[in-house]
Each structure stands twice: as C-alpha cells, then as structure tokens.
Amino acid sequence: MKAIMVMFDSLNRHLLPPYGCDWVKAPNFQRLAEKSAVFDNFYVGSMPCMPARREIHTGRYNFLHRSWGPLEPFDDSMPQILRDHGVYTHLVSDHYHYWEDGGATYHNRYSSWEIARGQEGDQWKADVAVREPPDNFNPAGLAKRGPHTLSDYVNRQWLDAEEKMPQTVTFDLGLQFLDKNHAQDNWFLTVETFDPHEPFFTQSQYRDLYNHDFDALGLTLDWPPYRKVEEGEGKIVEHFRQSYAALVSMCDRQLGRILDAMDRHGMWEDTMLIVNTDHGFMLGEHGWFAKNNPPLYNEIANTPFFLWDPRRGRPGARCSALAQTIDLAPTLLEYFGLPIPPDMQGLPLGPMLDDPARGHQAILFGYFGRHINATDGRHVYMRAPVNPGQAYEYTLFPTRMRGFVKPEALARVELHDGFGFTRNHRLLKIPAGQREPGQPHLLFDLARDPRQNSPLEDPEVERRMSGLIHRLMRENQAPPEVFRIYID
C-alpha cells in the first residue's frame, strides 16, 4: 500500500473549476476531479495553519483546548504510528511554520523530511544593507505589513525564476521521492506547499494568463490585509483576486506534475491520493479580506477535497458525506490496515465513498476563543460567547507562533490534572484572556442560501444547533469554562 497527500494552504474552493469557477486557469484540478472523488461537504476543524496540522496528526479537535502550538507528547501522531508499524513516511514542505517555536514537533514524527526555504516572511536570506522594505512594497493600510515584510522583500531577490520558487522546489523534492520509490511498497508521502497562501507572489507567466494589468497600481501589492474591505477598494479587491488566481495557476501546474508521475509510473492501481488544504481565504466575499477576523463563512470553512482510494475507484464521483480535517488520520490508518486509536474522533473517508451516510451527522469548527461553529450539512450555526469568563489554554508547551508565552501570563500558570485524551498527563493551564458576550450568533440555511448572504432567524433551528454544539463539546472533553462562556 502506498499513499500521497498533496496539501495546499489557503485554497478557496470557489476559485477552482471542479467547484464551479469558470475563469481561473486550473486544468489539472479539473483533471484531478475526473480521476478521483470530489467531496462537496468537507470542512475545516481548527483554524488556522498549525491547529489544522495538529488535527491531521491526531484526528481530534485542537481549538477547544488551545490555540497555535506544537504537537504534544501525549498526542497520537498518524505519521508516527505509520512509521512505528513499518510504513515509511516522508515529508517535503516549504511551510516554514514547521520550523518556528509554535510548530517544531511535527516534522520529526516522519521517517524523513526535506524543506524548501523562502516562503512569506521566512527568516532565510540576509541583506544587511536593507533595513526597511520600500514604501511601495505591500504598503501599510493596503497590505498586511509587519516585521516579516522585510524578510519577504529580501527573500524575493533569490526567487527570480520559477525553478527557484519554494513551491517548485517542494514539488521537485516530492517527485524525486516518487521517481526513486514508486516501485517500493508501504510508504506515505506528504507534499505540502504554503501556496496559495499570501503573499500572492509568482512569476509573470502565470500573471500573463489573466487579462489584468498587474502594474496599474504602481505598487507591489500581493499581501492582503486582515480586515474588512473598505469603501472604494473595488480595484484593490479585483487586484488581489487576480493575483491569487495567478498563484492558483502555478499550484495547478505543480499538481499536474504529481498526476503525470502517477500516470508515468502506473500508480493509480495501488496508491491513495489525497489533495486538500487547511482552510480557505476571503477575497472580498462578505466584505472581508483574508481569515482570522471574519466569521468562518464557507469561503474559509468549506474546503476543496479530493480522494482517490484505489480499493474503491470512483473516478469523477461527487461525495456528499459530511467530513472534515480530523478524518485524515483515521483515513490513512484504515487504508494501511492499522487500528485507529480510541482518542481519534475522526472517521475514515474511504467508507464514505461507499455510503455517504457513514460521514458525520454534525461537526464543530473554529478558532480558539472565538465563535464555536457547527454544521449538520444543512445549517451552519456560529455561536458567540453568551457569558463573560476567563479562557485558558491547556498544553505542555508555553509557546506561540514565533515565540514564548509572555512572562505575565506564565506568572499566572496553574497545573491542571489533564483530560482523558492526555492520558492523565498534567498540563499547564495558561490564562488566555477574558471572553465577553455581545457578538451576534449567525445561522445559515445552506440549502436556501448557499452563499450565506442572509442570516436565518429560526429559534427552533438555533436551539437544535446549540444542542449539537453542546453534545459535540462534551464528546470532545471541552473544559468547563468553555461551557460556561458559550452555553446558557
């Protein structure tokens, strides 16, 4: 048995041909849809990047107990379980958050791993003479600008051709693995690129695919701000959307190289292929840029997902099963014939191809400390705090994305006895801010309003969805204060 997972970051399914987009140039995604099963109701679990990757390893939600952080010592890790049972696991990635304080325990769970440098604000290349990026390079106000803007500006001096781009190097490394090992058995390859995550930086041959003047603004503008769209920014929105599309076209080309390799080596008979993303991205929809701040509309939460299971086939099929990120670990363990640990809450995806009713009846998704969201496939309910209360993170690693928890928070740390899934390991209980009510709950009927343009007011449906959230929180051992804050 062999398996490949090709993972993109921030891939909005509404801009892919298999999901109805008719203007983004992505023929290999369409080709993939014709060779695999396309899931229509696949959702995120925990947002954003590293919380999602913890779910890929562990098959259970991250966001109810903590925010961004490393894999924990008590966690089940799917790549580690495969490795321990004789399945060789290999990771190639340019997702630089793996090599920061907040993600540094994930890649070492694989048998081997390779990296490509230079994405986003990766602290990679040095140019001591450059202390500030130019004012016209992703300027503040119009773009997301911060400490990593300088690293991004410097890195681009070394990324002046497609073959040097981190995404290309990542796929080169993945193809090296396939060309070397395609005839071997019992391996799992993860090819993971940070693209099309912002900044939407790519070469001219992909921008030339689109009828858009990328230089008309007189700026380098490819890193959307994390905020609402402001009045009069129609041209800015369109520019970001076209820039994103150009980068998706580059992703499409690299995906095609994987499909070509599977054709060339005759791998469709014995190799599972998963193509997925961690979350989507807002490009002006609902009046928002990016992620993190807006409600988790489907442009972020309902993600593209493709599965080829050689045991079942189903080329060109559409699967209506309700599924999400926590299902990836059980899927791969089931495929390789290994038992699924009892702490995993996800379900194998392969059987859902046989019977969509074997999917979830309801799921949760969200960011730590923000709305707790649920869907049953028909309705999406976004529940805000209803009572004030102190929130806490439960972890053995007092780290954030790029550094450590601040000393003032560490001074208030308590020891917690842990949860069932932590196997009685005591945890750090770290204060994570006060939660206050006042934000609106949002309810949508996806059958009548698939674009989520008109919030629904239906107390009976809201009570039912609130009950689903309560049940799923209980099943996932949410801390007591989460119930106090979110449930009446």
Q: Which CATH class is domain 2-357?
A: alpha beta
Residue showing tokens 């193509």 = 275
Give CA–CA dist 171/156, Å, rounded.
19
CB distance 270 to 310 below 8 Å: yes
User: Above 90 in pLDDT, residue 424?
Assistant: no
Supply the pLDDT for residue 224: 97
Distance CA 228, CA 329 (A): 35
Q: For residue range 90-126, what is the model confidence (pLDDT) as tens digits?
A: 999 999 999 999 999 999 999 999 999 999 989 999 9
pLDDT recorded at residue 488: 75
Interval 2-30 mean pLDDT = 98
**Average pLDDT, integer, range 45-51:** 97
- Is a pLDDT exceeding 80 seen at residue 135? yes
Q: Identify which of 483, 443, 439, 488 has the alpha carbon closest to the alpha carbon of residue 465.
A: 443
Distance from the Cα of residue 448 to its chain's centroid: 27
pLDDT tens-place string over residues 359-377 = 999 999 999 999 999 999 9
Tell me the whole-structure pTM to 2 decimals. 0.97
Instruction: State the pLDDT at residue 146.
Output: 87
Sequence-separated (6 or more) residues with CB below 8 Å from residue 76: 57, 58, 59, 329, 341, 343, 344
Express each pLDDT in 457-468 by its tens digit.
999 999 999 999
The pLDDT, as a whole number, for residue 47 is: 97
For the chain, residues classed under CATH 3.40.720.10 are: 2-357
Residue 178 identity: L
For 192-247, what is each residue's pLDDT tens digit? 999 999 999 999 999 999 999 999 999 999 999 999 999 999 999 999 999 999 99
Q: How far apart are CA 156 and CA 274, in angstroms?
A: 31
